[in-house]
A and B are shown apart, each in its own frame.
Chain A
Amino acid sequence: MTLDLLNSWEETYKKGQLTLWIFLSLKDGDKYVDEIKSFIENMSNNTISCEEQSIYRSLRKYLHLDIVEFNLKEGNKGPERKYYKLTELGDNLLNQFIERNINLFYDEKIKKLLKKEIK
């Protein structure tokens, strides 16, 4: 029962998380799609799994909206790769999102609640 509820909650919770993780990976530095995918999987302890196609689709939208841009750089082998990075708009957007939605969790009272086990 608990596991089913948890899975259901997580499924809803994770929807929409991909954007935040993509932006965080680009804040960490310029990356190509494989690196973005690895970053997200590693940093989220594999709780967020994403298909390359989903990342490409999101990046196409962000490119169109000038949230990200890319530079072509030589890969180790094979053709040139697109290294994506946040634009000034993207950086601004992420900072404001963090300030409005993530920083709440750094409030002492919330931090205590998160650590406290519910009995």
Chain B
Amino acid sequence: MMNLQEHGQARRKFINQLMLVLCGTAAAIAILVLVLILGYTLFKGISYINLNILIQAAKPMGQAGGGMRNEIFGTLILVLLGCVFALPIGVLAGIYLAEFANPRVAATIRFTADILSGVPSIVVGVFVYAIMVMPMHSFSALSGGVALAVIMVPVVARTAEESLRLVPDSMREAALALGITRWRAVVGVVMPGAMTGIITGIMLGVARIAGETAPLLFTALGSSFGVQGLLKPIGSLSLIIYKDALSPYPTDQQHAWAGAFLLVLLVLGISILVRWVSNRKHN
């Protein structure tokens, strides 16, 4: 029979082991979930991938065959539009926050950017619907791009600001001591010094908006007619996955898996690449 002290020790050891196992299990669950979802999507999706998917346009509901060519283009165009609108605003705002703003003003603006990045993407979609789709009386690729841009701006601004802040002041001083103007110092010396970080932020923003569906639901809308121009509706991979997933036809559902395969490769590919590059830089 153990004495009281030994009993206490054993109990402590037992609890310690128990918690270790529980925490390890929790981590394992979290990892397992990812493996499950990702693995299933990749395996199921690849079985429906063929060359058609990439080069053909979609067929009407329920018919076999048909591809996602237009939706792939749509995603690329929408992401490009998003970047065109978001990059100037985000990068220049980041420069202002890092180089020119006084600390109190900067804190307030940073706070605003954080709020903006916390707005649910469907609310962003409703907003852009109200300011663009309603007055234009038409859904359009342009409004989809604007919606994606609204989501991307705070991400780019914050990472740009943080990257610029990482550039040591000694570099700014050395640049100014050469007798160049402040703006030339920022654009010619400080920004190139922060470029890796800024590009990382942009790529992360791209990965995020490439997968977005909700903001496109009532702006880009999706289109059965392919890419018709910036002022007409346009499809995207995310939209077609949503539409096909809810369709009763098995061929459409298979389509959805194929699309999911492509989209997850795109989004995860960018995310992994970005993290790999930034890890390498830090080591």
**Interaction A to B:** no
